Amino acid sequence: MVFSEGKTIFSKNGKFKAVFLQTEWKNTPIKIAVGVSRKAGNAVWRNRIKRLMRESYRQNKNFFADNVFTENKTLLVFFSPNRLNKKNNRIIKLDKVTPEILELVKSIGIFIKRHS
């Protein structure tokens, strides 16, 4: 549902992407998912990227809710790396991931406010 009906946005440098969809569900305001393709690297590297994306979301939950929250709707968001792989970025840290995720959150918020 999210992939077929949702909108896709990319970070400015193209390293991360987000697919999002706003629905009429009323149980939780925001639901996120994180995924990494097998082509990006081995399991250890992929799991590290997923942990870093989840952690950057967890640390900035309030920022996320302030920028994209609308009443009586649920926002479904899927984050994934786009041009990021083990070959190009063997070691990646949270301080490289967080600004990219926050940029995507701002873009989602702007898009939702324009189309609401």
The encoded tokens of residue 65 equal 């809710």
- Whether 29 contacts 112, CB under 8 Å: no
Q: In whole numbers, what is the pLDDT of the chain averaged over residues?
A: 88
CA pair distance 98, 31, nearest whole angstrom: 18
The more confidently predicted of residues 24 and 97 is 97
Prediction pTM value: 0.86
Q: Is the pLDDT of residue 80 over 90?
A: yes
Q: What percent of the chain is helix, strand and coil (3-state, nearest 5)?
A: 45, 20, 35
Q: Which helix (H) or strand (E) holds 102?
A: helix 94-114
Domain ranges of the chain: 2-114
Q: Which residue in 49, 112, 100 sits closest to 76, CA to CA?
A: 112
Query: What's the confidence (pLDDT) of residue 16?
Result: 94
pLDDT digits (tens, 9 = 90+) for 37-46: 999 999 999 9
Tell me what percent of the residues of the chain surpass a pLDDT of 90. 51
CATH number of the domain located at residue range(s) 2-114 in this protein? 3.30.230.10
Say if residues 16 and 107 touch (Cβ distance below 8 Å). no
Residue located via tokens 């949270």: 94
